[in-house]
Structure 1
């Protein structure tokens, strides 16, 4: 066999015996794919000696500085490994197949520097993937015919071996090196991720995929293939891959497109689902794992928050968007509170653009302070926000800085709308002398900018709506005047040549008066039903009522008779849900 040269050339270190090398290469050629009884018998006879040779070969490969040097000194190494890899009696032996896999990965170049190394990488990936997944090759047919091993069982066995080996390889980082001159094993992370591209939909590969995603990045060499990240993201989003919770979070940390896709998919699901309520939002958000991921990783929160910020700019007055943003922030803050103190990041890092004097006061939950302090807290918030808007008005002719500051303050108020809801509740029992700051806060929430919103006129309209509701629910005795009810209906409809007050503002006041007023249930029910039915806002009113219930369930209720309020909410819900609910 003159065409077969020794695997090792004379100038190489004499680690391998030349005659031994020649012997095994000739054996590999002679065995072929072990499809005859004689070759099968001969393969089994020499298997133990082959394992010893493969171990010596692996040691020699690991001493080389690069794949190029290895192939220069062992020019027929690829031919030898390729022939052995297709011998089913060799690959079915656990120790032999393990040594084969190790030799292949030792030849894999993390950063190929020439055409030879690039071609070697391509060949290694192809060989491993074919061994693990193809069921119709001649190797499989030989196993079925001569060994009675079902094709699927054989390939699963190979795949599991491959996954086990790679799990062991990627678990060894720089810290595991004993000799400083050894090549860093972190390069195996990239190789493993590239090998996994065609395996991402196989359940047997899930542990390896999870381990790759969650492996701590302790070295610049421990990178993941972008092709791998794209494949995992696509398989997971199409539900062809099942990942553990932390693996999903790690995927989002590694892949911005994957995170953005998850957020946009959630938004589409939530915002297009008819009949959604704030309670439904909370369930969907919790199941999505996004709030937990945001609490654990500030970088994830900043991406999600930026998407929500853009959404809010595009749909400023959309009640569903406002409710979704508030519910998301509430879920995020709850997850953040569950973290151990040493793992928590400062609030400033999560909200870098927000006026810092507003950050803690707005993010504080009403349940975290005494109820008697709520009024003063809301007055302070209202005054602080009002000063920001006055500074914006003064900055009318200069730049956009003032607008950005006011927008960020409003965005945080939308995220922490529990304080707006408390303000509306307090307005139910407030007198004319106390309602000013609370009404300003409510008006700013629904009409944040002066340009095009006519904030001063809106405040007048809000005061008018509050006066009419107060008269109906607190002052007037039955029977209810029809003209008073009709005037509330008109407040919910556009009026010519006058800026229209946000319907959600009037609805919020109306629902809270119905819930918290001291009148017997019959009159508030009649008022609420008559107004929302005539204005065509029954579904929207039901959503506002759901928001009130969700807040009260969280412990934010100023009413001393909480049981009466809960029963009242249930009764009002029964009235409103007799008709079809629009999406919240």
Structure 2
């Protein structure tokens, strides 16, 4: 572009005429550091602020940094000299305007070498504004003002943070075309400017403001550098964020969210963790709250759970974490009311729609006499899904769809496992004529996949386990029928090359019969002691009992002294075996 073209292009910019004057002033102010210079700066500060304000308006109206520099070729020299003059930057308003001009010049996506170099230069200047290296002018100024160096730097940093906050607070998308200037870009530039300040405590308000900034247009967003630096600092515990800032970080940074979920899973499923400890860990985590506030966060978390569960379908610790998490999630969701929230279908888009309401209806919300019929309906609905899967096995594409549908139904059942627990409890009082659907539901929960057509075989074993317990806990006279006891214990032993029942299924039946059955407390404890001792499943039995105790405590069932005493007796019995 020729000099004549530049003059024609910028003729409507009144500040172009003043630019040489201010550049000459900036050069003069930087060359000498005398009382006369300080006085001259002081006399011109108000006029300089007015000029910078007009300059900022004009920079913001241009679509690119390249175009701005073509129109104002002296702009870089002027801003650089002013930013490095401590007498100018010590004045808050001037410093803030300089900062906003730099942010407005920052290119989110540099389109050429000029914009790339401009970005590097702006980052250097911003870092200088934040730290104000102890050059000669700064030292003289601090001595003149009798301000300690550390205090001066902290004040400078706080002012810089405040100015950036103000700039993003005023950012609103005011144009529909991305080819025109948009103040939303200052959010991205501000986040880039904040990268060197991530671990500074004074920058916490700015970080929080950036994280909670409402994104309203395609040009507005936080830079990947900022989110990456924030994630790294938070992971190293070098950064303290308030609750809402953490939630916002997870919402905008997938690596941070994934790390938080995996850390929770690792700690909650660690060896030795009890159900009550898991509940405490999950309830203290901010993840359920983040999921309730942002449906997209929940979908990511649920997808991680889904992936983990596919690999560990028999891991009861993992299932317990998912169940506890879902419970905490719904508690947080209820606290958002009456604020509008996403529908159940939005949170669980892959789950069979017909099962959402029935499974997410809490047992406590239904009359006791309706629970069995409700579970019968759930069981029959799930059976239909599995039958459709088996009917489609000859078709590869159909089989994939069928497997997916059955898995999603099971995944939903795992998250709503309180219905499985109710089914186990109802099996204690059920008779041979109506236990079938409940046993099918229990077997499906513990054995969702029909590998090598084992589901029917496992259901037969589950029925055998129930039959033995039904006979044992219906016996009044001593001694206990040894055949039923030994047959039941044999079901807990692994059988090579045969589909065996999950020990957790069998132990759940045992613990529920011992807790809610009508046998004397001592007899129930004796049966439990023999089974646990001979099977060697002390830890597993203790975990099943702890889970039952926690659930009963949540439901207030310990108001029943009989249940409380039986739980304690069983706990002591199992503990003696460990």
The alignment's TM-score, normalised by the length of structure 2, stands at 0.90
Question: How many residues of Structure 1 are paired with residues of Structure 2 in the alignment?
Answer: 565
Matched, 1:159 2:154: no
State the partner residue of 1:121: 119
Q: 1:324 aligns with which of 315, 321, 326?
A: 321
Task: Please tell me whether the aligned partners of residues 291 and 335 of structure 1 are also in contact (alpha carbons under 8 angstroms).
Answer: yes
TM-superposed deviation, 1:270: 1.8
TM-superposed deviation, 1:423: 0.6
TM-superposed deviation, 1:234: 1.6
Match of 2:394, SS state, is coil
Aligned counterparts, 1:222-233, within 5 A: 222-233=220-231
- CA-to-partner distance for each residue in 1:97-153, whole Å, 9 max, x for gaps? 223223323333444443323322221121112221365655554455554433332
Q: Measure, in 1, the Cα distance between the counterparts of 2:197 and 2:31.
A: 25
Q: Relative to 1, partners in 2 of residues 1:114 and 1:62: Cα closer, same or farther, differing over 3 Å?
A: farther
Q: Give unpaired runs (5+ residues) of structure 1.
A: 1-7
Q: 2:86 aligns with which of 80, 83, 88?
A: 88
TM-superposed deviation, 1:496: 4.8
State the partner residue of 1:43: 38
Q: 1:75 aligns with which of 70, 73, 85?
A: 73
TM-superposed deviation, 1:24: 4.3
Q: Measure, in 2, the Cα distance between the counterparts of 1:407 and 1:181.
A: 48
Matched, 1:567 2:562: no
TM-superposed deviation, 1:556: 7.9
Q: Measure, in 1, the Cα distance between the counterparts of 2:149 and 2:338.
A: 53
TM-superposed deviation, 1:325: 1.6
Q: 1:214 aligns with which of 204, 212, 215?
A: 212
Q: Measure, in 2, the Cα distance between the counterparts of 1:563 and 1:68.
A: 80
Q: Relative to 1, partners in 2 of residues 1:453 and 1:536: Cα closer, same or farther, differing over 3 Å?
A: farther
Q: Measure, in 2, the Cα distance between the counterparts of 1:497 and 1:217.
A: 57
Task: Please tell me whether the aligned partners of residues 173 and 183 of structure 2 are also in contact (alpha carbons under 8 angstroms).
Answer: no
TM-superposed deviation, 1:313: 0.9
Q: 2:48 aligns with which of 53, 77, 84?
A: 53
State the partner residue of 1:5: none
Match of 1:344, SS state, is coil
Matched, 1:364 2:364: no
Q: Relative to 1, partners in 2 of residues 1:137 and 1:426: Cα closer, same or farther, differing over 3 Å?
A: farther
State the partner residue of 1:468: 468
State the partner residue of 2:332: 335
Q: Relative to 1, partners in 2 of residues 1:480 and 1:44: Cα closer, same or farther, differing over 3 Å?
A: farther
State the partner residue of 2:233: 235
State the partner residue of 1:426: 426
The alignment's TM-score, normalised by the length of structure 1, stands at 0.89
Task: Please tell me whether the aligned partners of residues 383 and 437 of structure 1 are also in contact (alpha carbons under 8 angstroms).
Answer: yes
Task: Please tell me whether the aligned partners of residues 447 and 453 of structure 1 are also in contact (alpha carbons under 8 angstroms).
Answer: no
TM-superposed deviation, 1:455: 1.3
Q: 1:199 aligns with which of 187, 197, 217?
A: 197
Q: 2:278 aligns with which of 276, 281, 304?
A: 281
Matched, 1:396 2:376: no
- CA-to-partner distance for each residue in 1:386-406, whole Å, 9 max, x for gaps? 122122111120122222211
Q: Measure, in 1, the Cα distance between the counterparts of 2:388 and 2:100.
A: 67
Q: Relative to 1, partners in 2 of residues 1:137 and 1:274: Cα closer, same or farther, differing over 3 Å?
A: farther
Q: Relative to 1, partners in 2 of residues 1:366 and 1:541: Cα closer, same or farther, differing over 3 Å?
A: same
Q: Relative CO higher for 1 or 2, CA cutoff 8 Å, sep ≥ 6?
A: 1
Aligned counterparts, 1:412-423, within 5 A: 412-423=412-423
TM-superposed deviation, 1:365: 0.9
TM-superposed deviation, 1:61: 4.4
Aligned counterparts, 1:100-119, within 5 A: 100-119=98-117
Q: Relative to 1, partners in 2 of residues 1:47 and 1:332: Cα closer, same or farther, differing over 3 Å?
A: same
Per mean C-alpha deviation after superposition, the further-off stretch among 368-377 and 355-364 is: 355-364
State the partner residue of 1:3: none
- CA-to-partner distance for each residue in 1:169-213, whole Å, 9 max, x for gaps? 111233678xx9983211101100111112111121121111112
Q: Give unpaired runs (5+ residues) of structure 2.
A: 1-5
Task: Please tell me whether the aligned partners of residues 521 and 568 of structure 1 are also in contact (alpha carbons under 8 angstroms).
Answer: yes
Per mean C-alpha deviation after superposition, the further-off stretch among 274-283 and 433-442 is: 274-283
Q: Relative to 1, partners in 2 of residues 1:60 and 1:218: Cα closer, same or farther, differing over 3 Å?
A: same
Match of 1:216, SS state, is coil
TM-superposed deviation, 1:512: 0.9
Per mean C-alpha deviation after superposition, the further-off stretch among 474-483 and 563-572 is: 474-483
Task: Please tell me whether the aligned partners of residues 532 and 574 of structure 2 are also in contact (alpha carbons under 8 angstroms).
Answer: no
Q: Measure, in 2, the Cα distance between the counterparts of 1:232 and 1:510.
A: 50
Task: Please tell me whether the aligned partners of residues 489 and 534 of structure 2 are also in contact (alpha carbons under 8 angstroms).
Answer: yes
CA RMSD after TM alignment: 2.8
Task: Please tell me whether the aligned partners of residues 55 and 99 of structure 1 are also in contact (alpha carbons under 8 angstroms).
Answer: no
State the partner residue of 2:352: 355
- CA-to-partner distance for each residue in 1:12-64, whole Å, 9 max, x for gaps? 4573596x755543443344387x5xx25521453241332232133034225
